[in-house]
């Protein structure tokens, strides 16, 4: 897995990612402390609204940002958004009103909605070999998991030396370092899609996504991941403190069990995906997570909640969660032309966060209103529906490209040029990674 770090461009991009997400983790801790200073006992409401703003900006702005990004050199786009996020981080220590937090969080998350899909779409261009790209996805997943474990620890150590406001300066330094690392390498900037209008560019990724069977399957699996993780992220503190009657340190240990399962999957997947196709691996991961949480609900319904079953469930949930999400980049890469990848990655970013926008509040409401077992069963019902949808939409025999006809085109039309169509039964029948309405708007005229 780590051999791909010999690639200088990827090494710099990966370092930029690690530094940026560590800085974001520090900002998350600092934001909670500042919210408490400003709102006191209502700090949870402030953070809940901030989280909602984050998700809404992700869902609504990622496709718009992708449409804008296609018109600019990718390196310039990424660096500009890193600098903008750094400026927001520098402004956060000076807030004196709660509404100022909301405005700055919106700007920061809007920048992230533009940065993350474009960054993710760059990696398959830098690492065209699928095995290398799989290793890169696993490393990226590992970086997120390690960050979730390290950021609170690093923040705690820094808070012994400085104030909470100072953590935002660490975040700003992280974004500036990320920008410098991106500047230090040459990045491919594929030619923009033939789609010209702003509306067409904005909706291109969603249209491709929803017209591609494997990506509709990925949407169902994203719903599984959102349902499984919402229980962990939103309800762990309540389960550990209220249901189990344990201290704060056990909250961290329980969350660490989820992260450990996710990290194990990240280490395992590169070799596993060489031997087994993505579909059974990802569906298997979904089943593991669903069975773990359903089993915990059944066990807790019979006896009082206990720590060991919760830890085991969280570990298996983390393993299943990572097994769903880590290979998703392979599906996105496989399902789009190079110039359309940013739009497709943005579509995944939007739709997957749309799932979390539903499951996060549902997990919180169900836990507080119904209790632990009904909350587990409710979220897992959504997960099962997502899994059933994924299985129905993503065929077991998944072709690399989708065959289709163009009876309206002349046999010598540039779009039909090449031997692919002849091998499939005629010059008007050929294949593409996806088929959308008005197909030629998204393909260069000479593409085959």
Residue 155: per-residue pLDDT: 67
Rounded to whole angstroms, the Cα distance separating 84 from 354 reads 24
Rounded to the nearest 10 degrees, the angle between the axes of helix 341-369 and helix 198-211 is 70
CB count in 10 Å sphere of residue 276:
12
Query: Residue 130 has which token pair?
Result: 């699928």
When comparing pLDDT for 92 and 445, which is higher?
92
Mean pLDDT of the chain: 80
Q: How confident is the model at residue 235 (pLDDT cuts 50, 70, 90)?
A: confident
Rounded to whole angstroms, the Cα distance separating 440 from 432 reads 11
Of the listed ranges 93-97, 362-366, 416-420, the least confidently predicted one is 416-420
Rounded to whole angstroms, the Cα distance separating 313 from 308 reads 9
pLDDT in tens, 174-227: 899 999 998 988 877 666 555 567 777 778 888 888 989 999 999 999 999 999
Average pLDDT (309-337) is 91
Query: Residue 245 has which token pair?
Result: 């009657």
Percent of the chain with pLDDT over 70: 80
CB count in 10 Å sphere of residue 443:
18
Residue 429, SS3 per DSSP: strand
When comparing pLDDT for 200 and 83, which is higher?
83
Rounded to whole angstroms, the Cα distance separating 421 from 243 reads 62
CATH number of 205-395: 1.20.1250.20
pLDDT of 441 > 50? The answer is: no
Rounded to the nearest 10 degrees, the angle between the axes of helix 130-159 and helix 164-183 is 150
pLDDT of 343 > 80? The answer is: yes
Rounded to whole angstroms, the Cα distance separating 162 from 71 reads 42
pLDDT of 261 > 80? The answer is: yes
Query: Residue 1 has which token pair?
Result: 């897995």
Residue 263: per-residue pLDDT: 87
Is there a contact between 226 and 355 (Cβ–Cβ < 8 Å)?
yes
pLDDT of 391 > 90? The answer is: yes
Residue 96: per-residue pLDDT: 84
Query: Residue 340 has which token pair?
Result: 């359309």
Q: How confident is the model at residue 400 (pLDDT cuts 50, 70, 90)?
A: low
When comparing pLDDT for 154 and 415, which is higher?
154
Rank 60-74, 138-152, 259-273 by mean pLDDT and report only the highest.
259-273
CB count in 10 Å sphere of residue 203:
17
- Please list the residue range(s) of the chain that carry CATH number 1.20.1250.20: 7-189, 205-395
Residue 439: per-residue pLDDT: 47
DSSP element (H, E) containing 432: strand 429-432
Residue 387: per-residue pLDDT: 97
Is there a contact between 212 and 436 (Cβ–Cβ < 8 Å)?
no
Instruction: Determine if residue 244 is left, alpha or beta; phi over 0 gives left, psi from -120 to 50 gives alpha, anything else beta.
Output: alpha
pTM for the whole structure: 0.78
CB count in 10 Å sphere of residue 422:
12
Q: What's the chain's length in residues?
A: 448
Per-residue CA distances from 290 to 33, 239, 283, 293, 324 (Å): 34, 18, 11, 5, 12
Rounded to whole angstroms, the Cα distance separating 232 from 228 reads 7
* Greatest pairwise CA separation for the chain in angstroms: 74
Residue 147: per-residue pLDDT: 66
430 phi, psi to nearest 5 deg: -150, -170
Q: What angle do CA 25, 28, 34 make, to 5 degrees?
A: 145
Report residue 402 CA to chain centroid gap. Answer: 26
Query: Residue 5 has which token pair?
Result: 């770090």
Residue 143, SS3 per DSSP: helix
CATH of 7-189, one of 1.10.3720.10, 3.40.50.2000, 1.20.1250.20, 2.60.40.420: 1.20.1250.20
């Amino acid at each position: 897995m780590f051999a791909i770090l010999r690639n200088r461009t990827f090494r710099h991009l990966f370092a930029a990612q690690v530094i940026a997400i560590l800085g974001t983790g520090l900002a998350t801790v600092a934001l909670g402390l500042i919210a408490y200073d400003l709102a006191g006992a209502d700090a949870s409401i402030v953070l809940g609204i901030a989280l909602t703003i984050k998700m809404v900006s992700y869902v609504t702005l990622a496709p718009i940002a992708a449409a804008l990004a296609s018109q600019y050199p990718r390196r310039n786009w990424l660096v500009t958004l890193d600098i903008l996020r750094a400026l927001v981080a520098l402004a956060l220590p000076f807030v004196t009103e709660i509404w100022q937090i909301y405005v700055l969080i919106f700007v920061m998350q809007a920048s992230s909605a533009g940065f993350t899909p474009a960054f993710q779409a760059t990696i398959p261009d830098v690492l065209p070999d699928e095995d290398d790209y799989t290793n890169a996805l696993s490393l990226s997943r590992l970086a997120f998991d390690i960050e979730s474990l390290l950021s609170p620890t690093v923040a705690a150590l820094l808070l012994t030396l400085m104030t909470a406001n100072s953590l935002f300066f660490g975040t700003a330094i992280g974004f500036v370092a990320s920008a410098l690392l991106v500047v230090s390498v040459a990045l491919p900037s594929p030619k923009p899609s033939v789609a010209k209008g702003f509306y067409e560019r904005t909706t291109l990724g969603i249209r491709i996504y929803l017209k591609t069977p494997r990506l509709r399957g990925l949407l169902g699996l994203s719903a599984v991941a959102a349902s499984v993780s919402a229980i962990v992220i939103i309800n762990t503190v309540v389960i550990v403190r209220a249901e189990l009657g344990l201290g704060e340190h056990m909250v961290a240990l329980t969350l660490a069990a989820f992260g450990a399962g996710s990290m194990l999957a990240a280490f395992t997947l590169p070799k596993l995906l060489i031997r087994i196709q993505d579909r059974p691996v990802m569906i298997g991961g979904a089943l593991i997570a669903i069975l773990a949480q359903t089993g915990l609900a059944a066990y807790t319904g019979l006896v009082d909640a206990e720590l060991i079953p919760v830890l085991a469930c969280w570990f298996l949930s983390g393993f299943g969660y990572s097994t769903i999400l880590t290979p998703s980049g392979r599906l996105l890469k496989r399902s789009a032309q190079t110039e359309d990848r940013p739009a497709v990655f943005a579509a995944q970013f939007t739709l997957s966060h749309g799932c979390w926008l539903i499951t996060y509040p549902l997990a919180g409401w169900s836990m507080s209103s119904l209790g632990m077992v009904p909350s587990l069963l409710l979220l897992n019902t959504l997960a099962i529906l997502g899994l059933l949808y994924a299985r129905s939409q993503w065929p077991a025999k998944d072709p690399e490209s989708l065959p289709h006809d163009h009876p309206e085109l002349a046999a010598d039309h540039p779009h039909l040029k090449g031997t692919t169509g002849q091998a499939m039964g005629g010059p008007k029948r050929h294949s593409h990674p996806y088929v959308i309405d008005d197909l030629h708007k998204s393909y260069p005229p000479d593409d085959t």
